[in-house]
Copies of this chain bind each other. A is one copy, B any other.
Amino acid sequence: MDRIFGILIKQANNVIARDADKFAQTLDLTGMQISIIDYISRYENDQNIFQKNIENEFNIRRASATSALKLMEKRDLLVRVPMQNDARLKRLILTPKARRLSEQIHTYFSNTETKISEAVGVENVAAVKQGLKNISGIFED
């Protein structure tokens, strides 16, 4: 019987998340933490990063983002610094410790991306990525 989309996506997500957790453990971090470090380090040159960006990027609820970021602050991976013109807005800035780790983390994600692209088939990458974006779009209210 044909496998349903929901299951195929869940399975792919599980294996990717587990592999990321396994790598993260070697740095004494979690998969979510390395993902957030990688996200900030990729975007911080172009823009200020706020909690809202993390919530959108990882599609996580506000409460989950708050607790993840607070824990990262406690573990000296980032600081949350109020903006001068609006103290309610806090920029997320990586610490030197996170910055040191970010190169290895980036290499890991980059290798993973290559492995996935090869598995999908280079000629299908664009279609698969666009398909996934469209899926995320349809369930949003």
- From A4, A13, A130, name the one whose CB has the most chain B CB atoms within 10 angstroms: A13
CB-nearest residue of chain B to A31: B6
Chain A to chain B contacts (Cβ below 8 Å), 27 pairs = A1-B43, A3-B133, A5-B113, A5-B116, A5-B117, A6-B112, A7-B35, A9-B132, A10-B16, A10-B59, A11-B59, A11-B136, A12-B132, A15-B138, A15-B139, A16-B139, A19-B139, A115-B138, A119-B131, A121-B127, A121-B131, A121-B134, A124-B127, A127-B128, A128-B128, A128-B131, A128-B132
The SS class assigned to the A binding surface is helix
| 1/0 contact string of A33-61 vs chain B (CB within 8 Å) | 00100000011000000000000011110
